[in-house]
């Protein structure tokens, strides 16, 4: 059991070093595809998971988002230039992939010419943490629509969506489907579950923010 505790202690120490407590004013990257509110939600939720459980994957998510938002050095290579551009973020994504799959052929030699950014090799890093960083950067860059963690369902203005909005969106997404009473009932149940989950996630974010405020 001791090695497991040691790894968790080391992870928590590293998370504290990376974040310095979420105390800077974030500068949202203009190249990021997800809405600002969702990026902030991911930052807080991953921070909560990382600091409470010592999860290397969550720590990788936090490090990536913190770096992209101007608060930390690069999570894999340690490069320090700010602000982070899209090209630099893509290069860091490739650095994370080399940690995850060190034996896989990756286009490292061609990337500097393609992206116009020098390649910085990865530091020694836990592959699980690199996987978290890779997932976060892929989402920020729009290479995947799935965030690394479940997020509250929000409108573009940041407000939580209502159940009927979700039902309407589901029906609009499948206009040729037969939306009889049973299908509408199922859609309403799914929408209510999504809204309830969103409320729980918002409460968790508020709890993490309060913990940071008390200890900051």
* Segment 134-147, tens digit of pLDDT: 999 999 999 999 99
8 A C-beta contact, residue 192 and residue 167: no
State mean pLDDT over 120-128: 92
Q: Assign residue 195 a region: left if phi > 0, alpha if psi is -120 to 50, beta otherwise?
A: alpha
- Beta carbons within 10 angstroms of residue 68's beta carbon: 29
Q: What is the pLDDT of residue 26?
A: 84
CA–CA dist 121, 137 (Å, integer): 17
State mean pLDDT over 103-129: 88
Q: What is the pLDDT of residue 23?
A: 64
Helices 56-68 & 36-53, crossing angle to 10 degrees? 140
More confident position, 17 or 75 = 75
Q: pLDDT category, 2, cuts 50, 70, 90?
A: very low
pLDDT surpasses 90 at 126: yes
pLDDT surpasses 90 at 50: yes
pTM, two decimals, is 0.87
CA distances from 39 to 24, 29, 65, 81, 108 (A): 15, 10, 8, 21, 28
17-53 exposure pattern, b = at least 16 Cβ within 10 A, e = fewer: ebbeebeeebeebebbebeebbbbbbbbbbbbbbbee
- Give a three-class secondary structure readout of the chain: CHHHHHHHHHHHHHHHHHHCCCCCCCCCCCCCCCCHHHHHHHHHHHHHHHHHHCCHHHHHHHHHHHHHCCCCCCCCCCCCCCCCCHHHHHHHHHHHHHHHCCCCCCCCCCHHHHHCCCCCCCCCCCHHHHHHHHHHHHHHCCCCCCCCCCCCCECCCCCECCHHHHHHHHHHHCCCCCCCHHHHHHHHHHHHHHHHHHHHHHHHHHHHHHHHHHHC
Q: What is the pLDDT of residue 161?
A: 95
8 A C-beta contact, residue 45 and residue 198: no
More confident position, 198 or 104 = 198
pLDDT surpasses 80 at 14: no
More confident position, 216 or 2 = 216
8 A C-beta contact, residue 64 and residue 70: no
pLDDT surpasses 50 at 65: yes
Q: What is the pLDDT of residue 18?
A: 53
Percentage of residues in the chain having pLDDT higher than 90: 72
Domain boundaries, the chain: 1-146, 152-216
Tens digits of residue pLDDT in 164-203:
999 999 999 999 999 999 999 999 999 999 999 999 999 9
């Amino acid at each position: 059991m001791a090695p497991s505790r040691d790894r968790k202690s080391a992870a928590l120490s590293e998370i504290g070093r990376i974040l310095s407590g979420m105390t800077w004013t974030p500068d949202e990257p203009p190249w990021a595809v997800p809405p600002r509110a969702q990026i902030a939600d991911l930052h807080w939720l991953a921070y909560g998971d990382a600091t409470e459980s010592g999860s290397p994957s969550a720590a990788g998510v936090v490090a990536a988002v913190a770096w992209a938002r101007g608060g930390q050095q690069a999570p894999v290579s340690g490069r320090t230039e700010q602000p982070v551009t899209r090209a630099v973020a893509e290069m860091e994504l490739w650095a994370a992939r080399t940690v995850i799959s060190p034996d896989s052929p990756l286009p490292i030699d061609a990337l500097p010419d393609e992206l116009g950014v020098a390649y910085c090799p990865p530091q020694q890093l836990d592959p699980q943490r690199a996987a978290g960083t890779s997932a976060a950067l892929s989402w920020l860059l729009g290479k995947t629509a799935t965030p690394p963690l479940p997020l509250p369902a929000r409108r573009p203005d940041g407000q939580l969506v209502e159940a009927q909005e979700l039902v309407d969106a589901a029906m609009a997404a499948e206009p040729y489907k037969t939306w009889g009473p049973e299908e509408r009932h199922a859609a309403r149940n799914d929408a209510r579950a999504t809204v309830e989950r969103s409320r729980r996630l918002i409460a968790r974010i508020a709890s993490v923010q309060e913990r940071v405020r008390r200890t900051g």
